[in-house]
Amino acid sequence: MLISLAATAPNADTLSTSTSGTFEMLKFSIDDNGGDGLPTKMKKLILQRGPGMSTDICFNDVFSKVTLTGTDGTNLDGTIYFSKIIFGILNAIWKEVPENTSTDFTVRAALKQPLQNMDGKSVQMKVNGLYDIITDPSGSQFDYNSVSVFSDTILFQVMPDHFEFAYLGDDFYGNNLVEGWFMQLKIVDANGVVATSIDGINVTLSAVQLDGVTPTAKALESTEGLTKTFTNGIAQWSNITYPDSGQFRILASCEQLVAASDTITILPFNKTLLIAQPDENITELLTSLDLEYDFYNANNYSYPSTENLAHYETIILDAPYSVAMYFDSTAIKIFLLSGTVENRKSILASGDNALGYYSNSKFANHYFGGMIQNYYQHSATTIQGVSGDPITDGLTLNINDGYTNIITPNSNLENSSVILTFPQTENIVGVKSATDNYRTVFISANFSDLSDNAQRDLLVSRIYQWFQEENQNQTTEGPDLSDLPDINMTEDIPYKMAIKDWFSFVEDVDTPDDSLLWNIVNGSHSKTTISDDTLIIETDINFYGRDTLLVIVSDGSHSDTNIVIINVAQVNDPPSSFVLLTPVNGFWTEKNNDSSTVQFT
């Protein structure tokens, strides 16, 4: 807190300090007039509010201690009230000024710690010798004109201590995404109070490396510009982007401060992606496993792109009901099918909304080994693992009372099996599924339903071990597909190309190009067919923009995948058909001189 004076203080240097320390407020003298042979006997001294003091604060808001000291060694603490500070020992005489002499007094004040809500407020003391110094009638009279009437007015202004980067934590809308960020930058004092008096000062943002100093190779961007002006101690941006993935920090620079934010991670970076709402249970879980992960806030009301998902090896899904409708089954399907024998993909889905509205669909049944059937109100306190299962053998997990979805397993799906049940009813709450390309685990109970953290951590640790097991038939043989070029097409016009145009992007040492088998997983807005070695792509009517396809090439035993980006150019559509409302056919007016019928179409 910076203390500034309206006038020159008795010792201004002490007033340039921060919230700590004691400083001088006021100096005055008391002179005994002499001539009567008696000393001046003081019983009480009162300091009152001066006219320069803010009306909405009081002395006991500001001061923790006020002391009166005299040149003769007097030292007396005052009692601090709302609008007064009183020095005196009941009704006793506490000070005598000898006949025809003078004593100088100094009022020293110590500020409260911490000093809250004082930004822009002022304090002033006054002492009027005639009314505020009470003397004993048995003594002499004093010269009240020697007493200073007002202290200087002291204005409290926030001294900027640090920046607070708001909305850059786990609750940040758009966290870790290269798209429109909202961010607030607050300038605060040492007590964490926003410096509302800071107005009209410019602050500029930039991207720096993790050392907080060195600029990044690429620059931070914003359609609003990277320089803003503080208003009431706050500057904010509604659109900030960074044109790359990885990690960096935001550096904020203004006249008073230069400081960097915590580390920001841009998807994709780590090999595990958590799609969830901010939840301390999940954060604690992944921290206990020493698992480095990227976090995608499920409250974004959207889903990561297929291209971003392709970077990851493992995805953990724990989305809330409120965003279940945004679950992208096509993106998840492409992610799973893009796995290979050598680079398998895996997903752990926990909770009845982890797969969005597809939890009870053929999608869940095929890729996750079962689907949600119905709610089950249970009074059981445990769920049981399955003997011999590599994940849950010997596990018993404590679970809170309540409702839990029951899973119906897909008995026709090869390499799918039950892993968790209620032992009393044998209702199923966990299944797993495995192929050469991917492995999935689907648990209908939420992590937060498991009441024992150690048991929960052991379960997830075993799941990760199972995800990372090597395939028994792992081999390096088979096609290698990479770097397929983008496809550019026009809205509402089918696109055709020869499959052989992709031959140069695939390598297979023991299979000729024309003997390879090609398959396409449709995008969110596009459908494909392969006929006579020709690929035909058709998009949704009136769709334009960007979509993705998953291309799979196989030699009959092994396969590889690659994602192809489709760019659909917009066209100017003709006007749609219309219906004639007026005039009706056969309408006649007097201006129709030949009296013939006029047809309107």
SS3 116: coil
Whether pLDDT at 594 is above 90: no
- Which top CATH class is 272-468? alpha beta
pLDDT band at 82 (very low <50, low <70, confident <90, very high): very high
Q: What is the pLDDT of residue 5?
A: 30
pLDDT, mean of residues 557-571: 86
Q: Does domain 480-569 have CATH number 2.60.40.10?
A: yes
Which whole-number Å values give the CA distances from 481 to 217, 499, 511, 516, 561, in the listed order? 31, 13, 13, 11, 6
Check residues 577 and 593 and name the one with the higher pLDDT.
Answer: 577
CA-closest candidate to residue 449, choices 352, 368, 316:
352
Check residues 497 and 354 and name the one with the higher pLDDT.
Answer: 497
Q: What is the pLDDT of residue 327?
A: 83
Whether pLDDT at 108 is above 80: yes
Q: What is the pLDDT of residue 591?
A: 54
Q: What is the pLDDT of residue 358?
A: 80
Is 162-266's fold the same as 480-569's? Answer: yes
Cβ(305)–Cβ(340) below 8 Å: no
Q: What is the pLDDT of residue 192?
A: 76
Q: What is the pLDDT of residue 301?
A: 65
The pLDDT tens digits of the residues spanning 167-211 come to 764 333 333 433 446 788 998 877 677 888 788 899 999 999 999
Q: What is the pLDDT of residue 107?
A: 94
The pLDDT tens digits of the residues spanning 111-141 come to 887 777 777 788 999 999 989 999 999 999 8
pLDDT, mean of residues 458-465: 92
Domain boundaries, the chain: 2-157, 162-266, 272-468, 480-569
pLDDT band at 279 (very low <50, low <70, confident <90, very high): confident
Q: What is the pLDDT of residue 58?
A: 92
Cβ(296)–Cβ(274) below 8 Å: yes
Instruction: Look over the chain and give the mean of its residue pLDDT values, rounded to a whole number.
Output: 82
pLDDT, mean of residues 544-560: 83
pLDDT, mean of residues 343-352: 90
The pLDDT tens digits of the residues spanning 29-61 come to 999 988 889 999 999 999 999 999 998 899 998
Q: What is the pLDDT of residue 593?
A: 55
Check residues 465 and 327 and name the one with the higher pLDDT.
Answer: 465
pTM value surpassing 0.75:
no
Q: In CATH, which of 2.60.40.10, 3.20.20.70, 3.90.650.10, 3.40.50.2000 is domain 162-266?
A: 2.60.40.10
Q: What is the pLDDT of residue 4?
A: 31
Q: What is the pLDDT of residue 578?
A: 64
Check residues 485 and 522 and name the one with the higher pLDDT.
Answer: 485
Q: What is the pLDDT of residue 153?
A: 87
Q: What is the pLDDT of residue 168?
A: 64
Least confident piece of the model among 17-21, 217-221, 259-263, 278-282: 17-21
Cβ atoms within 10 Å, residue 299:
18
Interior/surface letters 450-484, b for 16+ CB within 10 angstroms, e for the rest: beeeebbbbbbebbbebbeeeeeeeeeebbbbeeb
Whether pLDDT at 576 is above 60: yes
Strands in 10-111 per DSSP E: 22-32, 40-49, 63-70, 75-77, 79-80, 84-87, 95-97, 102-111
Rounded distance between C-alpha atoms, residue 585 and residue 601, angstroms: 7
Q: What is the pLDDT of residue 101?
A: 92
pLDDT, mean of residues 550-573: 84
Interior/surface letters 11-39, b for 16+ CB within 10 angstroms, e for the rest: eeeebeeebeebbbbbebbbbbeeeeeeb
pLDDT, mean of residues 263-285: 81
The pLDDT tens digits of the residues spanning 579-590 come to 666 666 655 555
Rounded distance between C-alpha atoms, residue 281 and residue 266, angstroms: 23
